[in-house]
Structure 1
């Protein structure tokens, strides 16, 4: 429905003077007899009158108001929990019938001139496409999705189809929505006899030959007093078996297996609760543990001229990493262990007393990775001679107090904006006053800031020249950073991440291979694709593209799948449909007439949280309906839903859109005035009036 209205900037009473002016002017012009007929004289009088009146009328600022009304029909949203738990609680056959009933309810509401939309956890928008296989249930997310998508819309109500079981997100019982929420309870609330493997606890990393535990949490529902057998297997071989008995219903017990692996690499352990007769389902009787068995720890040597709080701060970081072993050598205090080290940290070495000169010469001149931490005891003349990353020209004994600024262009590892902000608030450290000259294309991680002025001087930098990794922290007072962060935030996450990433960068050995293929993660869920990165280099280690790559993926059952693709810039190779397990891969290509290969392994895991609980929770659905002005219905009464929704009397909303246009800006007004002037001029000219 649309309407027009004429309004003016000034009073409409000004139309009367406009009429008078137009009449007087036209009368003066045509009151005398002209060389034309009386009829034409009246016509010319009328034309001039209209022309003058329109011109005077436009002076009072007339506006044309256009109002357009649009009706938005009431919207009902069917929010469908299409998670896998419904398959257990309701059953496949009943879910198929349910989809037909939902479609029927939708058609009835649409016939009543309501809009009905579908929203699901999996993103499906059609009832026919729903398969009830979503691997998790987040009802809080589903309702938030409706609330955000239909904000400022005529949402008359949302109908949630669910069994009330959720395993991710917040409880929907705490939500207060801006629309009525009706709930349809799916499944059965009756407790089912079942033995459930609820969880498996284990460390993802262990060392070859070490003993490690795997703990299975098992819950009983209806089998109290029965002997329950729990077994653990590796590659189909039975490793251990334990028998437990539950004394009461809904009891939870832990079963611990202690194992040892002499085989390195990813190991797959399968824990199974042997099914009992009368169990509701055996899909939740099996769990999997994947443990990476590595050959040994990365050995780190920290050499210091004397005890210092920095040493404890660094040790606190390495102690959190199970794959690091830190040896501390302080001459005269601790004993030096002559071993092979992946990283050497020199704290205020070389010093003025030439402490640990033998160790410095041994590791400073070979290809060992080194992290130098300077301070007031450092002999900078010796320091400049032995390291190839940073030259520091100290002027006297003066020191500057500087704070740190993270360099966002550093790409060997990354910190978030929030983490960089935390670092910028760390207390000042003491650095030598003088010139700092990075060498061999060293990359700055942290810059020095003096007061409010950020300088280009490095506080922390990294170099990787001639196969030797070197980092230099050119300040003293590292320990204060960790202490202040803990005081301000109660954690040391940012400090630990910065130092941990630096140690990992220095201690890891880079492979100078011309061909690399690797998955972007070591673990994937079966519902996600496996993405492979491909790197191919020429003789001067520039990336090249257009290579034909052959990829073979082998499962634990020795089943092989072969793939071929061409590597391109900014693209990854994708594999879908792999089931749970450990996979090994071998990729190959021909480079300069020679076959190059790259190999590794990755893990596919199942997300089995939907199998833990098969008992519907109608109490939750009643609670959220009552809280949000809705009604709860069991699925058996779904046919009454359309009538209940119609009785809620949803109304259409009128959206009015108003537009104001100045008449003087309308094209047809311009052409009307031109036409009137032209018409009068033509007849007067033709009849000899000019």
Structure 2
């Protein structure tokens, strides 16, 4: 802080009202003029006496102020938005800021403040404001009085999205200078996502609309090659008309998050390829799930299956219970039967592939389904279908489904023994890490014990994973991925006891619902999955795995930078880790052959609409505030000089820092120029001299 110990000034502190003093001065002047007109002796001494009296009444004082001069503030705003990472802009900005700050700090009585502006990359909303340099300036100036601002200096590429109206700018807040980090006459190609749905029905067409624009091209071309990828797999290539909206039609292959990536071939010599790609996350939902439930005979658990499946509004259930097998011949005429014939040809030949899940509940071979149709079901599973067998006692006999072509896909082979004593189902070690059974809830009171079941068909697990066990750790629930399809075996027909609340019951509905949805390939129930969510400025990684050892995930950000993130166990087969978000875009996660994608940021960021450096937007602001504009790569850093507030603040070669000369008074002294005693002596002297002159 610059100091000046004493600054002297003259002040008048009259002993009478100023009006009286003025009247007295006028009266004295009239008396003196009359005396001079009459050539009265001693008029000069009388005039001196009157002037002395007026001076004594005016009471002039000498003020000595102690002033502390306040430092002016130079505000530097550094643009570190995504567009500043293009080409050499980041290096130019960093170097220029270092030299600029060093130059400004060499000035006396000048304080340098810096504000760094970045894009809010963790935003998940569909609205975005771009680079907000003037909002940051406004916030910084809230704590700085306008009469202390020397200048605002912005190091940017000119792509600012909150430039105020010229009428709203004031020179009282100092000049605004711009140092541009890019180069003139840049060209760039931009792919913009015009319209994209937030969700789509699986296996049904959806439409996206994109637009390709070329900026700064002297000889524009008509078309460009467009590529569309779904979850990283190329779906289609096509030509896009430059400057026109292009409709893209595709269908989602699975439920849950689907990552669509659309890219256009780069323009020769363009500024960057970063905005040649657009991405969107579309949530896939199933329209209606077709489920076929075949009950081999009426039993207590049959209604449990029906109620669980019917309670799901997205499930269309077709349920048949075999009441009258072919061998039952009682002579009743067909026209008098009220039973519906089992439409086996329609279900297992014509419409078999229309079903998403087939359930055999306590089914046994009774001649209803020929081997040909059971072989069709095996083929249906291997080609991507889902099969659930809830076994009854017949599974351990010669009437078992395992003695049919279904043995090719069933993972559990019966031993012929049926366990008929009470036992409590238990979750196996693998089951505790599997999403189907790892988070099964206990009864409503939170007791760790479930009710007992009283029957289990002993079987040998030849394949798949055993998630639940019964007596002697024998398999109770087996899940297997069979080629493109899935199979589940529940080796008991007593799950209904949990639904009835026997001995406290158990999570019957939740267990059967999870098994059914796993069979229908719901993504959240996959035992091996890698995903991430955005929390604040971080990516939280989640890995669901049957492996016990924690994994290390390779995270690739949108700019191609890779980082390794070590995960830590958090229970139920879940491992988690955190990595900071560096920029918006598509992040890629990988562990061995396991891959996943996560889109960070908003759908159409303003920051990527036009990345070319420009002075067109900021020149009006510079003129309105008296500031200047300079291209760093072409002209280099300008000289800075202190200027008077009302002088020019910029020229071709230099930029001004307003010198406001503000100060605080920390002390002062008052000293009368005419002490009363001295005034009295002088008055008596003038009076005596006047008398003496009159007597001559």
The TM-score by the shorter chain falls in which range?
A: 0.3 to 0.5
Greater C-alpha radius of gyration: 2
Q: TM-score, normalised by structure 2?
A: 0.41
TM-score by length of 1: 0.41
